[in-house]
Amino acid sequence: VTEETQTLQNPAIRSAYERELNLHWTEKTNDPINLLLGEEDGLYHHHYAVGDFDRTILNADEGVREKKILAEMHRMETEQVALITDPLLGHLHASSRVMDAGSGRGGTSFMVHDAYGSSVDGINFTQHHIDFSERLAEKRGCADSVRFHNSNMVATEFPDAHFDAVVTNETTMYVDPLEAFREFARVLRPGGRYVGVTWCWNDTTSPRRTEDITAIDKHYVCHINARSRYFAGLERFGLVPTEVTDLTEEAIPYWELRTASELRTGVEPYFLDGYRSGALQYLVIVADRTA
Ligand SMILES: C[S@@+](CC[C@H](N)C(=O)[O-])C[C@H]1O[C@@H](n2cnc3c(N)ncnc32)[C@H](O)[C@@H]1O
């Protein structure tokens, strides 16, 4: 079965845009920047990071420099997941249920489960990501509590009020926040918590999409949403923000480090320019569903 057939036959795909995006992910079966980093500890991330890095590694000997850069990127990507797990402290326990919308290769789902013992349902419409995450869940001995589903994150089959928390780790640039938050509010129980980490276009300072934003959209087949669209969606569906953190400055060093790696993909200058100019922002949004 070709990648194209897989995409065409996938019942979770609803539009021409989703077909294009799904094909993009379906073809990326062995991208070294994602696979090499996770080999050591079995945590595979498809997101970036915040905070500074150990700058001495840039002067390391040629023979070890790249290895050190990759280890540092992986450390940062793993620590990034605290942006999701920390706001759930006190909200989750072992019998809680969490939906991880756009679960990639499962890194965030596993770390939420490891932190609180909660069961996690990872939602993804890329079948090889699901197969990969399911194999990892078996290996990690948590396949009973961390499950992965081929489904569209804005139209899942879960009953109303099923989850105590919904998380999105750098996935809402593939969906319309209005559609996504309608679904997240539906599956969250009253008082349940949404935590989302995302990059977005700062439409308070840039009335139009900038060249950097357009270039990132093209590179990742995404559609970076305006910041105002997030808050319109939260408001519309009764998700009340309790904390919003702008980590744009903190998001810059990761891209400087990635620029120094042999695995850089060419998208790095657009993120750096976007963050430095302020047109692109890196936000953490914590919001609770009204009762
Ligand atoms: C950038 S990755 C993020 C993965 C993960 N959250 C992480 O932090 O490692 C985006 C993921 O979202 C999935 N995805 C994108 N749009 C989706 C949709 N509408 N429904 C389900 N999954 C989707 C892709 O297949 C991919 O696995």
pLDDT at 253: 98
pLDDT at 27: 87
The whole-number mean pLDDT for each consecutive block of 10 residues of the chain, a chain of 291 residues, reads 85 94 87 72 93 97 94 96 98 98 97 98 96 95 98 98 98 98 98 98 93 97 97 98 98 98 95 97 98 83
pLDDT digits (tens, 9 = 90+) for 107-130: 999 999 999 999 999 999 999 999
Paired sense of beta strands 280-289 and 188-201, if any: antiparallel
Give residues with Cβ within 8 angstroms of 224, minimum separation 6: 173, 199, 200, 201, 209, 213, 216, 217, 280
pLDDT at 33: 66
- In the sheet that holds 97-101, the strands lie side by side as 146-150, 119-124, 97-101, 163-169, 188-201, 280-289, 239-246
Using most ligand atoms within 8 A of CB, pick from 7, 131, 171 the residue to mutate for ligand 1.
171
Is 237 near ligand 1, meaning CB less than 6 Å away?
Answer: no
What one-character-per-residue DSSP string does 155-217 give?
Answer: B--PPTT-EEEEEEES-GGGS-HHHHHHHHHHHEEEEEEEEEEEEEE-TTT-SS--HHHHHHH
Nearest CA to ligand 1 atom 7: 46
- Whole-prediction pTM: 0.96
Nearest CA to ligand 1 atom 1: 46
Is 149 near ligand 1, meaning CB less than 6 Å away?
Answer: no
CA separation for the pair 107, 14 (Å, rounded):
26
CA of 123 to the centre of ligand 1 (A): 8
pLDDT at 32: 67
pLDDT at 45: 93
Is 38 near ligand 1, meaning CB less than 6 Å away?
Answer: no
CA of 59 to the centre of ligand 1 (A): 35
Is 104 near ligand 1, meaning CB less than 6 Å away?
Answer: yes
pLDDT at 243: 98
